Amino acid sequence: GAVVSQHPSWVICKSGTSVKIECRSLDFQATTMFWYRQFPKQSLMLMATSNEGSKATYEQGVEKDKFLINHASLTLSTLTVTSAHPEDSSFYICSANGGETQYFGPGTRLLVL
């Protein structure tokens, strides 16, 4: 149990396009999901907290108009990177509230050319 999936696992896009990443809790419901970003050989940096049915809470320095988050159901949160640029290239990981802890998705690697 407690499986979190992400789709896609890999995405390569041209600069200026928008990319949507999905995070799903497969066998449990999550009122709260989190989006993290990880640069090579770095730790996870929290980007935002996604709450079902309400607006996401963004961490300082994260542009909410650039990283759109929608948590429309108890099993799905989406992160849309709008007008992506090469500096947005990174590994994006989501996690879902599983009670006493969080369960992480496998990550989405984004490469913007």
Partner 1 sequence: GEDVEQSLFLSVREGDSSVINCTYTDSSSTYLYWYKQEPGAGLQLLTYIFSNMDMKQDQRLTVLLNKKDKHLSLRIADTQTGDSAIYFCAESTTGSGNTPLVFGKGTRLSVIA
- Residues in contact with partner 1 by the rule CB under 8 A: 4, 6, 30-32, 34, 42-44, 46, 49, 93, 95-107, 109
- Shortest distance in whole angstroms from residue 113 CB to partner 1: 19
Question: Locate tokens 């509230």: which residue?
Answer: 97
- Shortest distance in whole angstroms from residue 99 CB to partner 1: 6
**DSSP sequence for 7-25:** E-SEEEE-TT--EEEEEEE
3-state secondary structure of 95: strand
Say if residue 100 is exposed, middle or buried (CB neighbours under 10 Å; 0-12, 13-18, 19+).
exposed
- Shortest distance in whole angstroms from residue 95 CB to partner 1: 8
Is the Cβ of residue 4 or residue 81 nearer to partner 1 in the bound state? 4
Is the Cβ of residue 17 or residue 31 nearer to partner 1 in the bound state? 31
Is the Cβ of residue 34 or residue 67 nearer to partner 1 in the bound state? 34
- Shortest distance in whole angstroms from residue 12 CB to partner 1: 15
Is the Cβ of residue 66 or residue 109 nearer to partner 1 in the bound state? 109
Say if residue 46 is exposed, middle or buried (CB neighbours under 10 Å; 0-12, 13-18, 19+).
middle
For strand 108-112 and strand 10-13, is the pairing parallel, antiparallel, or unpaired?
parallel
